[in-house]
Amino acid sequence: MKSFFIGKYEIKLPIIQGGMGVGVSLNGLASAVANEGGVGVISAAGLGLLYPEYRGSYPEKCIYGLGQEIRKAREKTYGVIGVNIMVALSNFSDMVRTAIAEKADVIFAGAGLPLDLPSYLTTDSKTQLVPIVSSSRAARLICEKWSANYGYLPDAIVVEGPKAGGHLGFKNEQIEDEHYSLEHLIPEVVEVARSYAGRKGIPVIAAGGIATGEDIARFMALGASAVQMGSIFVPTEECDASVEFKQVYLNAHREDIRIIQSPVGMPGRAFDGEFIRNVAEGKEKPRSCPFHCIKTCDYTKSPYCIIKALYNAARGDMKKGYAFAGGNAYLSDRIRSVKEVIEKLKADFFLSKALL
């Protein structure tokens, strides 16, 4: 596995740990992956719920929580730490400013087009900017807008295919259409990145349903410089979610993973369960909204409160929430350390390369 660069940072292990909220990938998991040479990623979603002791409004709790998570991660690693911030968050701007002020190494921004992301950089910024896209069209649009408006090009581009966990940038009918598969998307976005080669090298990172060393080798052969992996790191000792949450991954079968409609306005991939069945029966409708966490969410029309559902699940209350999951999340059979997971990925990668 070759190292690659995200802006000025050399990434020794070409694996980015996906940002998983609420409370699934925090400083514990992020620092463990960073210590192995990859990029550890803290999810900014729902951090206000994790720091109830801080006096202030929910948005203020989120800002405080993000600062705390970045600092805690720094105490545990000298590696590269990123933050995943959804464009759909109502406090997107404040969270981006906080990540930059706290000197997060990388911001990964998806769940919407982060067209103004470079505008938040300051003269002494050390943070690299990486958009998450689901098409070559979105990749080119971001490159053109950033270049024209800010004289800046992405430091890398994450391409998230339809087998990803969580929110998906696809219509329901596109999810199983092979023309929208990650195998089709990667070469197209690599071509977009190459069109800017005279100005900047933009590595492309493959994401969505990647679960084995063989997968890594396959997408690198298609032109990706690295991969992003989320679900594989949930059933690890260092993952910040509860044991009960991790157990859902270990007990699952392929048929337990389904596509749901999220209050964010996008389809999402998650494990089926009691809560999702209750949602289908209209039993989880919110009566109020104390958070206003998502720009596109209207609680009077929403089937449930997504931030509370994800928070409850991460804490282990699966009757009041559910777990997002990638298309191959059912493959894990026991809880391992992050180091063990990565060593297995490396071994399978080199075996797969030898067989090519």
* pLDDT per residue as tens digits for the range 61-74: 999 999 999 999 99
* Predicted local distance difference test score (pLDDT) of residue 283: 86
* Predicted local distance difference test score (pLDDT) of residue 255: 94
Asked if the structure places residue 282 within a domain, the reply is yes
Q: Is the pLDDT of residue 235 over 90?
A: yes
Least trusted range by pLDDT, from 35-39, 207-211, 258-262: 258-262
Indicate if 166 and 228 belong to the same structural domain. yes
Q: Is the pLDDT of residue 126 over 70?
A: yes
Indicate if 218 and 258 belong to the same structural domain. no
Q: Which two tokens stand for residue 91?
A: 């406090």
Asked if the structure places residue 225 within a domain, the reply is yes
> For helices 92-101 and 58-76, what crossing angle results, to 10°?
30
Least trusted range by pLDDT, from 116-125, 207-216, 280-289, 309-318: 280-289
**DSSP readout, 94-106?**
HHHHHHHHTT-SE
As a whole number of angstroms, the distance between CA 308 and CA 243 comes to: 18
The predicted model gives 299-308 an average pLDDT of: 81
* Predicted local distance difference test score (pLDDT) of residue 331: 92
Indicate if 135 and 266 belong to the same structural domain. no
C-beta atoms surrounding 53 within 10 Å: 7
Domain of 301 in residue numbering reads as 244-315
* Predicted local distance difference test score (pLDDT) of residue 119: 97
The pTM assigned to this predicted structure is 0.95
Indicate if 13 and 60 belong to the same structural domain. yes
Residue 136 identity: S
Indicate if 222 and 248 belong to the same structural domain. no
Cα first-last separation, the chain = 15
Q: What's the number of domains the chain is made of? A: 2
The predicted model gives 248-276 an average pLDDT of: 90
State percent of the chain over pLDDT 70.
97
Indicate if 275 and 192 belong to the same structural domain. no
Question: Position of tokens 């105490």?
Answer: 75
Indicate if 199 and 91 belong to the same structural domain. yes
